[in-house]
Amino acid sequence: MVSENPFGQFRRECEEALAKAIKKTLPEIKAPTITLNKTPNIEFGQLASSICFDLAKKLNQKPIVVAEHLVKAIDKSSFNLIEKVVFAGAGYINFHVDFTKFSALTLESIKKLKYDYGFVKTANPQKIIVEHTSVNPLHPIHIGQARNPMLGDALARILEYRGHQVSRHYYVDDVGRQSSVVAYGYQKLGRPKPTEKADHFVGKIYTVTSCLVEINRLKRAREVAVAVRSAEELVKTNKEIDEWMSIAAELKEKFPVLFEVLMAKIGEDENPEEEINRLNRAYEDGEPNAKQLIREVSDLCLEGFKETMARVEVSYDSWDWESDFVWSTQVSEVMQKLKTSPFVFTEKGVLEFDAEKVAQIFKLKSKLGLSETHEIPTLTLMRADGTTLYTTRDVAYTLWKFGQAQKVINVIGMEQSLAQLQLKLALYALGYGEFADNFVHFAYNLVTLPGYKMSSRRGHYITFDEVLDEAVLRAYEEVSKRSPQLSEEEKRSIANFVGIGAVRYALVDVDSSKPVVFTWERVLNFETNSAPYVQYTHARACSILRKAAREPEKPAYDLLAERLERELILNLAGFPDMFIEATEYLKPNNIADYANALADKFNTFYNALPVIKADSQELSDARLVLTQAIQIVMHNALNLIGIVAPEKM
């Protein structure tokens, strides 16, 4: 017999047994919903129900009395996996699994299903768009932004394994002042070909151009402050100029040739800020020269992003350009529809969206997890100069996505929570309540590096490429130390998947609502809670199977009676349940936690109990089957979060 969810099968038997007992002993009572929880100790059984406490209130009896009657009414003979049922404590009903049958069912199911084990398919498959990464094409992806693609890719993987049709989208944010700044600098340089990795090349241009333009703007502001004799404004502007001059000195030292050339070229324009604003307006209006220029420099940066993402095996099904929605009628259509709604008003020539009014009229605050006293700020839809804002354009983009999918998940940082909330409320205001209900903002917290403060404007950031390079180098040193007998080619190969896996794991392992504190001591720890640790454990299981050099012929599952063995079997049987929960609640960190816990338990087992040299052939065969099952499930768990499960390390 093969089960795709052994522990789920045991749970269903327990639920059915309890339901029959209630119907038999208490036919006049409308039975409450049966819930079963795992016990804190396997000595107390594997599942427990507190239903007798609810029933006791209705019957005006003590819970322990109700529990005793129900236990006596349960007929174990009609079930396969239940060994015994007992009443315990003040009125709990505890179910004990028949470990011999349960071990056979679990281990044989894993052996048969192999790399499909655990991936229980949903009864309601959907078309889902996961939009992730979407770093602005201005500079390389840095470590602070790298958590996004790691989480996004893990979400897409687990949803796909659950049976959904998933499409991965990258939203290219190419409209707005920042894109015009880098394009302005790029044009001033004569639109040069990259002399290094394209996104790094573009990043330098952006940082230097941004600095020089800001200094020019502030100097003009200082002249105005002097002219109108505003002492307060003069002090403030001088302070800002001093700060930017300090940044300029740093950039000149780092990129002397680039800095001098851009300073000379930008100095030719009387008002660079106005040139950038003109370019920005021209691009949003779809003027051909502006389109060609900004698309060209954006494509260069994206070329570099694609190289980085290929390295960590992250791919996209669609690259969606923000400008395409602006140039089409989609944004203007959304704007027109919002204008005719009662939720938009004009203030000082600026169009504002009253998100608070939407929430109140549609009574959405409780549904959105907000307190009734929480006031939602208005959203600016359009500036006085007629240009739209990011969230306005995002409304049109979201409607387009719902034309292709039933559910949309945006992987975007927590700092965008308000904008994402306003976006959802705009959907309600436009009459797309069903879309809003199926729109998910998967928010994540920051990545921090102790002792290092990142600053994009100073060019102070650690690129994702640098982190991956460092991880692979450190992994190579560790592998060389642990396995000096390996060939140079093997060491390099192992170091690559260990280093990259370590970074992926570190960025997924922590709950998305909490910050990731990125330290090499944690990321590349071969002893606990890291990708290298789990990978090394997987390789250890493979090594045992290789050394055994035989296919188990007579596994005696009744001999797997040690507590460690039973805990491992329960852990393996619970993998499908964990997978379902991680998918339904969008918790990819649960996968990493599970893999680490399984590795911990297996290493304890490995150190305590012999496998190949067990007391009998039957026991050795059973432990070999158990080891093989652990290897398969560990492989499946790592695969869900995009990490290689190696056979050797």
Regarding whether 414 and 306 lie in a shared domain, the answer is no
Regarding whether 634 and 507 lie in a shared domain, the answer is yes
Regarding whether 221 and 309 lie in a shared domain, the answer is yes
pLDDT, residue 528, reads 86
Which domain covers residue 539, as residue numbers?
Answer: 466-640
pLDDT exceeding 90 applies to what percent of the chain?
A: 88
What single-letter DSSP state applies at residue 88?
E
Regarding whether 503 and 634 lie in a shared domain, the answer is yes
pLDDT, residue 349, reads 84
Q: How far is CA 530 from CA 351, 479, 506, 524, in A?
A: 50, 15, 7, 7
Query: How far is Cα 187 from Cα 198, in angstroms, rounded to an integer?
Result: 16
Whether 256 is in a domain gets the answer yes
Whether 533 is in a domain gets the answer yes
Per the listing, tokens 């109140």 go with 360
Q: Which of 250, 282, 314 is the last residue of a domain?
A: 314
Query: How far is Cα 523 from Cα 531, in angstroms, rounded to an integer?
Result: 8
Regarding whether 408 and 483 lie in a shared domain, the answer is no
Residue 413 in contact with residue 443, Cβ under 8 Å? yes
pTM beyond 0.95: the answer is no
Whether the predicted pLDDT of 508 surpasses 90: yes
Q: What is the mean pLDDT of the chain?
A: 95
Exposed e or buried b for every residue in 154-167, given b needs 16+ CB within 10 A? bbbbbbbbbbbebb
Of 385 and 533, the structure prediction assigns the larger pLDDT to 533
Question: Residue 322 is encoded by which pair of tokens?
Answer: 């923000």
pLDDT, residue 382, reads 85
Regarding whether 335 and 421 lie in a shared domain, the answer is yes
Residue 588 in contact with residue 154, Cβ under 8 Å? yes
Q: How confident is the model at residue 280 (pLDDT cuts 50, 70, 90)?
A: very high
Contacts of 126 (CB under 8 A, 6+ apart): 164, 165, 405, 406, 407
Q: Give the Cβ contact number of residue 544 at 10 Å.
A: 18
Regarding whether 331 and 284 lie in a shared domain, the answer is no
Whether the predicted pLDDT of 454 surpasses 70: no
Whether 102 is in a domain gets the answer no
pLDDT, residue 291, reads 98
pLDDT tens for each residue of 227-256: 888 888 999 999 999 999 999 999 999 999
Whether 120 is in a domain gets the answer no
End-to-end, the C-alpha distance of the chain in Å comes to: 35
Whether 255 is in a domain gets the answer yes
pLDDT tens for each residue of 71-83: 999 988 889 999 9
- Strand ranges for 39-126 from DSSP E: 47-49, 82-88, 92-97
pLDDT, residue 448, reads 87
pLDDT tens for each residue of 63-106: 999 999 999 999 888 899 999 999 999 999 999 999 999 999 99
3-state secondary structure of 228: coil
CATH of residue 537's domain is 1.10.730.10
Whether the predicted pLDDT of 194 surpasses 70: yes
pLDDT, residue 458, reads 67
421 phi/psi in degrees, rounded to 5 = -65, -45
Residue 96 in contact with residue 86, Cβ under 8 Å? yes
Mean pLDDT score, 347-357: 92
Regarding whether 596 and 544 lie in a shared domain, the answer is yes
Whether 31 is in a domain gets the answer yes
Whether the predicted pLDDT of 457 surpasses 70: no
Q: Which of 415, 448, 481 is the last residue of a domain?
A: 448
Helix (H) and strand (E) counts in the chain: 25, 14
What single-letter DSSP state applies at residue 33?
P
How many structural domains does the chain have? 4
Query: How far is Cα 101 from Cα 79, in angstroms, rounded to an integer?
Result: 11
DSSP string for residues in 334-383 = HHHHHHTSTTEEEETTEEEE-HHHHHHHTT-TTTTT--TTPPPPPEEEE-
Query: How far is Cα 554 from Cα 618, in angstroms, rounded to an integer?
Result: 5
Regarding whether 420 and 529 lie in a shared domain, the answer is no
Q: Which of 417, 448, 479 is the last residue of a domain?
A: 448
167 phi/psi in degrees, rounded to 5 = -120, 130
Regarding whether 538 and 517 lie in a shared domain, the answer is yes
Question: Residue 469 is encoded by which pair of tokens?
Answer: 């390079």
CATH of residue 364's domain is 3.40.50.620
pLDDT, residue 455, reads 66
pLDDT, residue 409, reads 98
Whether 479 is in a domain gets the answer yes
Mean pLDDT score, 23-35: 88
pLDDT tens for each residue of 109-137: 999 999 999 999 999 999 999 999 999 99
pLDDT, residue 456, reads 66
Per the listing, tokens 């030292």 go with 253
Regarding whether 87 and 38 lie in a shared domain, the answer is yes
CATH of residue 86's domain is 3.30.1360.70
Residue 561 in contact with residue 83, Cβ under 8 Å? no
List the one residue out of 489, 509, 513, 490 whose CA is nearest residue 501.
509
Dihedral angle computed from the Cα positions of residues 603, 608, 614 and 615, in that order, rounded to the nearest 10 degrees = -160
Regarding whether 334 and 310 lie in a shared domain, the answer is no
Q: How confident is the model at residue 175 (pLDDT cuts 50, 70, 90)?
A: very high
Whether 647 is in a domain gets the answer no
Q: How far is CA 638 from CA 341, 510, 515, in A?
A: 49, 15, 22
Least confident residue range of 8-12, 472-476, 479-483, 545-549: 479-483
